[in-house]
Amino acid sequence: MLEIQGIRVENGTKKEVYIGPSGYPMPAFLIAGREEGKTLLVTAQIHSGEYPGTPAVIRIGKNIDPVNVFGNVILMPCVNLSGFQSGYNAKIPEDNGNLNTDYPYAGKPVTDSISSFFIKEVFPKTDFILDLHSGGISEPLTPCLFYPSLSATEESLTVAKKLDIPWLVASENKKGQFSYPAHVMNIPGLLLERGYGGLCDEAWIHAFENDIRLAMDALGILSCEQCETCRKEMIRSVCYLRFKEDGLWYRKAEPGEEIAKGQVLGHTEDCFGNVLREYTAEEDGIVLYGNGGLKASKGHLAVAYGRNAYRQVLL
């Protein structure tokens, strides 16, 4: 049996409901399996404008038969509902809060109420978290996932190794929908990245569906017939190159591209076409994601690449 905010779901049944803090209802599929087992939480659109995870979660919610489930599944296809409805790219429109960086509490009332809801009502009932993301409007990326490297690491990697994502990236972040519960509450979890550009490609949706099913299989919640997955590498350290000036950005390296030390990854120019600075790789690596737009803003990310010295092939 599963119960959240007084909503009871009996074994072998599911409900389509709204849950959340006062004044901020969020859609959810609450699924209680016929048999006891672990509880999986899946969230999408923590950042509005990152779309592919939403239809994937909805399809899983509609198609899953609770009679075949061992344990419970909490599916939340659109956490940042007001951001989605108002066309925001990432943040909570009511207070400009970010559910990754402003977590758990940042003095932003709506954002704080959402994180507090999860911390008090959902995370204590959760055994594993999948948080589905995509690259932003101007952030192309190669499919990757982030696992917590400071706590609940072994349990998180056990599931990560079963998913169909090639790059497993270590994260020491202690804020955010998966990072806070992992590093502070010791709840294993993963942040998955697929798609980019404010697009919602069918292939990305299908891949996220597959990820969710593979995770449920790995957790013993629901058997998945699809067992073959891609070759994987663990990346224990990432270099984040950030802009040192404002200007126009012209990138020269693509997500998934192998790069060598000293290779030019892009350059900035002023509005008269004069080169301001070249950005080069500090060591050999693999490009994960970065700025794919034109605007360069001082302090913002230009390119993120995994460092070859900290890469490990998983057999």
**Given this model, what pLDDT does residue 36 score?**
95
pLDDT for 20-44, tens place per residue?
999 999 999 999 999 999 999 999 9
Report the pLDDT value the prediction gives residue 89, as an integer from 0 to 100: 87
Give pLDDT, residue 277: 98
**Per CATH, is 238-310 categorized as 2.40.50.100?**
yes
Q: Who contacts 281 (Cβ-Cβ below 8 Å, separation ≥6)?
A: 239, 259, 260, 261, 262, 263, 265, 305
| Peptide bond just before 55 cis, omega within 30 deg | no
Rounded distance, CA 75 to CA 43, Å? 6
pLDDT recorded at residue 138: 93
Spelled out in words, what is the top-level CATH class assigned to the domain 2-233? alpha beta
- The residue with tokens 């294993």 is 188
Q: How far is CA 144 from the centre of its chain?
A: 9
In whole angstroms, what is the distance from residue 34 CA to residue 73 CA? 12
Half-sphere exposure at residue 309, Cβ-oriented, CA atoms within 13 angstroms: 7
Element spanning 204, H or E: helix 202-218
d(CA 31, CA 166): 30
- What pLDDT sits at residue 315? 72
User: Residues 148-180: pLDDT tens digits?
Assistant: 999 999 999 999 999 999 999 999 999 999 999
- Three-class DSSP labels, 224-245: CCCCCCCCEEEECCEEEEECCC
Locate the DSSP E strands across 83-202: 128-133, 144-148, 167-171, 189-193
Contacts (Cβ under 8 Å, ≥6 apart) of 192: 53, 130, 131, 132, 133, 145, 163, 165, 208, 211
> Could you give the residue range(s) of every CATH 3.40.630.10 domain in the chain?
2-233
176: nearest Cα among 123, 233, 241: 123
Work out the number of other CB atoms within 10 angstroms of the CB of residue 25. 12
pLDDT under 50 in the chain at which residues?
A: none
| C-alpha distances out from residue 72 to 15, 31, 82, 100, 117, Å | 12, 6, 27, 25, 19
Contact assessment for residue 101 and residue 175, using Cβ atoms and an 8 Å cutoff? yes
Q: Which residue in 137, 136, 188, 180 sits closest to 162, CA to CA?
A: 188
Predicted TM-score of the model (pTM): 0.97
Delimiting residues of CATH 2.40.50.100 domain(s) in the chain: 238-310
